[in-house]
A and B are shown apart, each in its own frame.
Chain A
Amino acid sequence: MESLRQLRDPELLRQLAKHMRAIATPPATLMEVCGTHTVAIARHGLRQMLPDGVRLISGPGCPVCVTPQQQIDHFIALGALDGVTLTTFGDMLRVPGSEQSLEQARAAGADVRVVYSPLDAVALAARLPDRQVVFFGIGFETTAPAVALAITEAKRQRLPNFSVLSAHKLIPPAMLALLDSEVHVDGFICPGHVSVIIGSDAYRPVAARGKPCVVTGFEAADILRAIEILLRQLAEGRAEVESEYARAVKPGGNARAQALLSQVFTPTDARWRGLGEIPQSGLAIASDFADFDAARRFRVDLPTTKEPQGCRCGDVLRGLIDPPECPLFGSACTPAIPVGSCMVSTEGACQARYRYGSAHPVRQELSSDIASATSDAPDPSSERRT
């Protein structure tokens, strides 16, 4: 196994970039499904190194971004009930709901606490027997096992005051749904962390639809290799599942985590921001654990769902437009005053593009400036892209 130090060796990175650019490939649009990949690509400036005609678009893999307005409203509404303490991962705080964000609800008096792990929320419930502690279960197959574990732990401790509002989503059904939409994708960079749980075999149905899938990690070297493998498959007319991330991902995934998921959750139809309703793409709390389901425990009136005006997060999440193509991007919508969820979340495609380059008026200049600095660029002028 390569160490991180080896993976970050500048010489290795230069070689990988060279290999990637050496493949003769027709124009191709590759989608990185996962938000952590979106951030890594922006951070490392990898778009600046792509061969001509190759485009990277971001997919629906930012958990905060794909959580629909209605579920955010539902969670915020729970916080208005007497005696309820809301617990959430920090990145959910600033996502605008129809009427307010969790951050605004907290400022208005709701008891909202940030936790780093769902087990912290269980511990909080044990410490606060007079409060109803509700955890917002968002995220994909990566975070869902930890939430499942928290629910089994609450059951073991017989905690009557812990529950979860489950908004968990599953990645492979969303990828298949994208293939049925107007979005054009030639190949997928598949998520690393999600694949640790579900295994690389989970993408076989996607590959069977003629789309190469490569599972990879989060180092620049990982992503460069994944792009190279995808381009090679496209050049050779293959569509297979390959894993570049064998140091963490097995074909069958993590059986224990999968068993925990199927014990606590049951697949259900789910609504995604931007993608709409996708069959069997969400996780509901199974009937054996119904006592811990906040959706069943509390009855709340939800406000009429209001989507932010002019926001095109939905199209960004499907890879239909590039973040800068949204009319609000960088003007009405910035990380400081976000309109849509993709600008709020640190893993959101809009925030990543805003922070690391494309939002600035000097975008063009950045591309040309760097051409000369990119060591083995064949011709600086061919490196200019936006």
Chain B
Amino acid sequence: MSTDRILLAHGDGGQLMADLIAQVFVARLGAGDPPGDDAAQLSATGRLAFTTDAFVVDPIFFPGGDIGRLAICGTVNDLATAGAKPLAISASFIIEEGFPIAALERVADSMARTADEVAVRIVTGDTKVVPRGKADKLYISTSGVGEIADGVCISGANVQVGDVVVITGPIGDHGLAVLSQREGLEFESGIVSDCAPLAGMVQALLCATPATHSLRDPTRGGLAAALNEIARQSQVEIEIVEADVPVRPSVAAACELLGLDPLYAANEGKMAVFVSPDQAQRALQALSEHKYGRDATMIGRATRRCPGRVLLKTALGTHRILDRHVGEQMPRIC
């Protein structure tokens, strides 16, 4: 390619665009299925899950990941919350004029690696270029289709009173990793995003405990938002024990410094899992044998007291309500 930056002409449907798609995207992500067609053709037998997500993270490269890895993980993990195995993904790119092509290649490489990790194909896509200043560097939107195995019935509405709540590892890593790189706020923390595609871990879990009731990835709004959604959907109360919620010391320290609460900080490689108490040990065992669930631990239970409410038991033995967060605490973290 004769230029090292994206030009408006890269989005005009002409030769430059064809070259960009061939050399940056097709070379890394595949040519679509069938190659060259505008729509991919898929076959599936069972129930399908379908989801979509947009990614505007700033900065686009951060410790532990980048916008490309995030764009695959976000959609793969949303499919996983339905117990679905990812089948195919679409990816749309909105690129700001002047964006370095080398950075775009890095992002596409990262998407390819992440998709390979869970054996999902990127089967269709689109590219648009907007004038400088009309978008910030690069936005990606992905959609995904996944297949749900027979006998698996997972929904945020399925949690039963008595269910155990498991979190698959320490919380807040992604939110604080991105925040630590923000302009005006850069600090050396060593915090690395947990950004990871969880399809494999969830399939291993469902192999051990197919009757898992509910799964939710605590992304924006953190664990607090995820638990509130589930409590409302399932009409149960969820009580968690603050001291049992795993938080890395570096994340806890950074949160304290910035006046943030790790319970509201985003995760991109964690799952909150709800299973009946008799299945809890099996679930924990299966999760902890997977590399992304190594630190899985029980943090609470569902009770009948006050449907829709999330309660947190403090170290003092007092209780407080764990509400959703409101306001612009951490914009553009995903």
Q: Using CB atoms and an 8 Å cutoff, list the residues of chain A in contact with chain B.
A: 8, 10, 13-14, 17, 42-46, 48-49, 90, 93-94, 115-117, 120, 220, 334-336, 346, 354-357, 360, 362, 365-366, 369-370, 373-375
Contact = CB atoms under 8 A, between A and B. Distances in A.
A302 B318 CA distance: 47
A42 B318 CA distance: 10
Given A334-B326, A356-B321, A360-B321, 20 more contacts: A10-B315, A14-B316, A43-B314, A45-B316, A45-B319, A45-B320, A49-B318, A93-B328, A117-B184, A220-B314, A220-B315, A335-B326, A335-B327, A336-B326, A354-B323, A357-B321, A362-B306, A369-B311, A369-B319, A374-B318
A335 to B, nearest CB: 4
14 contacts: A8-B315, A10-B315, A13-B317, A43-B314, A46-B318, A94-B328, A116-B185, A335-B326, A346-B327, A356-B320, A362-B309, A369-B319, A373-B319, A374-B317
Interface string B78-97: 00000000000000000000
A90 B315 contact: no
A44 B326 CA distance: 20
Q: Do most interface residues of chain A lie in helix, strand or loop, or is the interface mixed?
A: helix
A366 B327 contact: no
Given A44-B320, A373-B313, A115 B326 contact: no
Contact of A369 (B184, B243, B305, B316): B305
A159 to B, nearest CB: 18
Nearest to A373: B317
Interface in B157-195: 184-185
Contacts of A42: 320
B316 A366 contact: no
Interface residues of B, number: 21
Contact of A366 (B243, B317, B321): B321
Nearest to A355: B323
Interface string B211-249: 000000000000000000000000000000001000000
B185 to A, nearest CB: 5
A343 B326 CA distance: 11
Nearest to A93: B328
Contacts of B327: 94, 335, 346
A8 B314 CA distance: 11
Contacts of B309: 360, 362
A67 to B, nearest CB: 17
Contacts of B243: 10
Which 6 A-B pairs have CB atoms at the shortest separation, nearest pair first? A45-B318, A335-B326, A370-B319, A356-B320, A362-B306, A45-B320
A47 B34 CA distance: 65
Interface of B: 184-185, 243, 259, 305-306, 309, 311, 313-321, 323, 326-328
A342 to B, nearest CB: 14
B248 to A, nearest CB: 15
A30 B326 CA distance: 29
Contacts of A44: 314, 316, 318, 320
Given A49-B318, A355-B323, A370-B318, A365 B305 contact: yes
Given A115-B184, A365-B306, A220 B316 contact: yes
Contacts of A357: 320-321
B289 to A, nearest CB: 32
B314 A45 contact: yes
B108 to A, nearest CB: 32
B35 to A, nearest CB: 44
B319 A48 contact: yes
A354 B325 CA distance: 11
Nearest to B261: A43
Contacts of A115: 184
A365 B319 CA distance: 11
Contacts of B318: 44-46, 48-49, 370, 373-374
Contacts of B323: 354-356
Contacts of A45: 314, 316, 318-320
A34 to B, nearest CB: 14
A382 B315 CA distance: 21
Contacts of A14: 316-317
Nearest to B307: A362
Most buried by A among B309, B311, B314: B314
A222 to B, nearest CB: 13
Contacts of A370: 318-319
A45 B243 CA distance: 15
A17 B314 CA distance: 14
A45 B317 CA distance: 9
A344 B259 CA distance: 16
Contacts of A362: 306, 309
A77 to B, nearest CB: 23
A17 B318 CA distance: 11
Nearest to A42: B320
A288 B314 CA distance: 51
A116 B184 contact: yes
B156 to A, nearest CB: 21
A328 B300 CA distance: 34
Contacts of A13: 315-317
Nearest to B303: A369
